[in-house]
Structure 1
């Protein structure tokens, strides 16, 4: 059985910084994909283009680099030797499900409710995946620091979106649709664990990221073709180059998660990415606000609380264990 590569520990400050940077790429991707959806009149078409451009870029890198070609050659051997099940390579379905959830549920729930439900799912899956040892680092106990960090992160997200949440309100009609972002968040945590397990044996995140985009693109194209008779053809693609950078930003997010989950577990990695998303959204509203965007004190304090949650959850001590 081949031993995993890259076993040298990753310093905690480096990992947390990488998670924050990668998380900040997601609101930027959302802004790019949102603009593309507005131009084409189809959120599903924008998702297909985003995944498709990422897949084209990754295919070129995999084909042209020795490390990429080696990963493709070694994949059957890793599955045959039992390093990870073959269905781990279907982790990209989780990303496709998240994108579909955005298109279907955001219009019903609004961004605030969607974000809260999605983050709750990520925190839940992070705790469960770490506890049962689903990730590449093996079982991780639910210590006091990790539990408190997860709850503080959820509180920080609720606090950050509270101005929007209080304006729109929550009704019984929104409870059902909230299950979509909630389950998407659960899948995101397990997706990161599966990607991290693959990356541990490949020695780099390139093969796992490639398979994520390949499977996700196939799922989205299938959904697009099924919906096409009912929705009609989208408008022609625009000529602005920056509307096609969503795939590159997605690569940064997925690859970083695949690397970091090996060292810090699913929960801490998810919390770092969530904090990065809040900080990135806040930075965009400051630098390049869209129409109707505003920055409230609750948004700033909620983002700060999410950052504190990452520090607490990643504290390098065992703490008390919840049973």
Structure 2
């Protein structure tokens, strides 16, 4: 996700159009995932399970719209990263995802069913958020006045909040299809259509984007998105939404650290806070997996199960 945010943010800045960058990202991802879903025999068998699952009411049909959340995240990358930087963008996404991960698990929307809000799970979410804030704290001091970046951060905050719902809905579909591939393909179809419609409206109102860049790496956002959605749909059933989200957040921090080491942007600095906060996020993820005695749950949570 760190690499995808870097690529899509750079493409949005290069085109001068975050919506166009998001549409390009989803378009390249759609081509790749369509080939992966249609060419192998196993992929075609999984796709044939979609209509029977819908006819039998295995899950509500609006679950198919989970791709709208991914489209919103990619759009926020293209629009926001160039304004706030990847650090503030990550803080906003993590804040939204940490909160909604607890909520979605408690509501039982994912394939793993309803999960208790144990003290360790809540504490791990708070520690993860603290780790990300610590990691970017050196950059926050030079981010300008709050008024300059607070409003743009509303987009990634909302996108992060919706990510847990997307993972839960995709995981539920993957369980009934027997494969995460159909849900991934449907995600990209829905997201691409919505982004194209939004871009056409923007085109009519404010004009088009700049020419597409020739550098190949600008088009890696789509394939990275394929990998992200496939992995999330495959593991959310066994891990739950919160643990899946925490694992991905830890991966974001590790990815951001590696990007700053091997592909630094101008002004990128690796501090002690960056390294220690990454270790804290990994420790928080492990904390969330520890058992919590059922008898120790607050009575209100036992009654609400």
TM-score in terms of structure 2 length: 0.91
Quick check: 1:143–1:318 contact (8 Å CA) kept in 2?
A: no
Matched, 1:288 2:263: yes
Matched, 1:321 2:297: yes
Structure 1 distance, partners of 2:84, 2:176, is 40
Structure 1 distance, partners of 2:281, 2:265, is 24
In structure 1, what is the equivalent of residue 65 of structure 2? Answer: 90
In structure 2, what is the equivalent of residue 271 of structure 1? Answer: 246
Structure 2 distance, partners of 1:40, 1:188, is 26
In structure 2, what is the equivalent of residue 146 of structure 1? Answer: 121
Would you say how many aligned residue pairs link Structure 1 and Structure 2?
298
Per the TM alignment, residue 105 of structure 1 is displaced from its structure 2 partner at its CA by: 3.8
Describe the SS at the equivalent of 2:49. Answer: helix
In structure 1, what is the equivalent of residue 2 of structure 2? Answer: 27
Structure 1 distance, partners of 2:40, 2:65, is 23
RMSD: 1.9
In structure 2, what is the equivalent of residue 161 of structure 1? Answer: 136
Structure 2 distance, partners of 1:169, 1:273, is 28
In structure 1, what is the equivalent of residue 229 of structure 2? Answer: 254
Quick check: 1:153–1:306 contact (8 Å CA) kept in 2?
A: yes
In structure 2, what is the equivalent of residue 58 of structure 1? Answer: 33
Describe the SS at the equivalent of 1:124. Answer: helix
Bigger shift: 199-208 or 227-236?
Answer: 227-236
Which gives a bigger RCO, structure 1 or 2 (Cα 8 Å, sep 6+)? 1
Structure 2 distance, partners of 1:164, 1:157, is 12
Structure 2 distance, partners of 1:179, 1:237, is 28
TM-score in terms of structure 1 length: 0.86
In structure 2, what is the equivalent of residue 99 of structure 1? Answer: 74
Corresponding residue to 1:230 among 205, 210, 226: 205
Superimposed CA distance per residue, residues 82-140 of structure 1 (whole angstroms, 9 cap, x where no aligned partner): 21111111100001111222344445544333322221111111101111111101111
In structure 1, what is the equivalent of residue 279 of structure 2? Answer: 304
Superimposed CA distance per residue, residues 204-243 of structure 1 (whole angstroms, 9 cap, x where no aligned partner): 1100100111111111111111111333222222222232
Structure 2 distance, partners of 1:301, 1:159, is 9
Quick check: 1:88–1:194 contact (8 Å CA) kept in 2?
A: yes
The verdict on how the C-alpha distance between 1:233 and 1:246 changes in structure 2, with shifts beyond 3 A counting, is same
Structure 1 distance, partners of 2:112, 2:76, is 29
Matched, 1:216 2:191: yes
Q: Where do 5+ consecutive residues of structure 2 fail to align? A: none
Structure 1 distance, partners of 2:248, 2:241, is 11
What pairs with 1:76-87 in structure 2 (closer than 5 Å)? 76-87=51-62
Structure 2 distance, partners of 1:104, 1:237, is 16
Per the TM alignment, residue 312 of structure 1 is displaced from its structure 2 partner at its CA by: 0.4
